[in-house]
Amino acid sequence: MRVAVLGTGTMGTGIARTLLRSGFGVTAWNRTVERARPLASDGATVAETSAEAVAGADVVLTILFDADATLAVASEFVDALPKDAIWMQSATVGPERVRAIAELAAQHDVAFIDAPVVGTKQPAENGTLVPLVSGDAALIEKVRPILDAIGSKTVVAGARIGDASSLKLACNAWVASLLAGVAQSLAMCEQFGVDPKLFLQAMDGGASNAPFLQVKGAMMLAGDFTPSFGLDALYKDLRLMHEAGTPGSPATELLASMRDIFGTASAAGHGADDVAAVYTAFR
């Protein structure tokens, strides 16, 4: 099975390397081709254009920044897709936009599944992501070897395109809530003159603890914002969540607050940093 990976940012690069280790033939492409070239040393074919990348592919996996980027690139490669190729759309674009992408695929008679993933840099490199998929069950089974290679498990959200993308927004809402909560508690300790490390100690081992809390909390206190999950990516996701919410509802108002907090950190120059940099907005 040959897989074309379009988008070799943090996640796409990790996925491509995982697929190569699992024995798949991989062709990689990125808008800035220099970002894809290191994959050649791992055994990937690096394409100069997206149309060249998808030629001969059994599966095309798109993991670009957002829906606009995905649609723009798709207009360049969709006519070059082999007749029986399956398009796995794995970027976080939200349910409405993934349906627009699926409509483009349908107009060109391209098989399509909605397949965002839960996880960050390390799980992508280790093959322990959690793919969330929705679409035709037969198509999902055809790409099962890929799902098994890149993920520790796969969650099937149903047959309706967009349900996997909706689930992904719900998952990332929890991530954003936890990050904002950790940052707030650490900042409160500082405000009260209490060593913020004590908050992490107090939570460690308890029912409310989470590995993510400890890892991101330690990064916040160390000022180590080496990106594993970029802040601007989660800021983009929060905007999608807010747009998809019910106007005036408490949930939507909470999303608006978190969106603005992450936006503050982004405007301060932390967009390319790890999501842990949201801590700066509380200080």
pLDDT by residue (tens digit) across 92-151?
999 999 999 999 999 999 999 999 999 999 999 999 999 999 999 999 999 999 999 999
Q: How far apart are the first and last CA of the chain?
A: 50
Q: What is the pLDDT of residue 149?
A: 98
Instruction: Transcribe 208-248 into DSSP letters.
Output: T--HHHHHHHHHHHHT----SSBHHHHHHHHHHHHHHSPTT
How much is the pTM?
0.94
Q: What is the pLDDT of residue 104?
A: 97
Q: Which residue has the tokens 């990516």?
A: 233
Q: What is the pLDDT of residue 61?
A: 98
Q: What is the pLDDT of residue 93?
A: 97
Residue ranges in the chain whose pLDDT is less than 50: none
Q: What is the pLDDT of residue 51?
A: 97
Spatial distance between the Cα atoms of 191 and 237, rounded to a whole number of angstroms: 30
Which domains are present in the chain?
2-159 (3.40.50.720), 167-282 (1.10.1040.10)
Q: What is the pLDDT of residue 234?
A: 97
Q: What is the pLDDT of residue 256?
A: 96
Task: Return mean pLDDT, the chain.
Answer: 97
Q: Please, what's the largest Cα pairwise distance for the chain?
A: 65
Closest CA to 89 of 52, 39, 140: 140
Q: What is the pLDDT of residue 205?
A: 95
For residue 101, count other CB atoms closer than 10 A to its CB.
Answer: 22
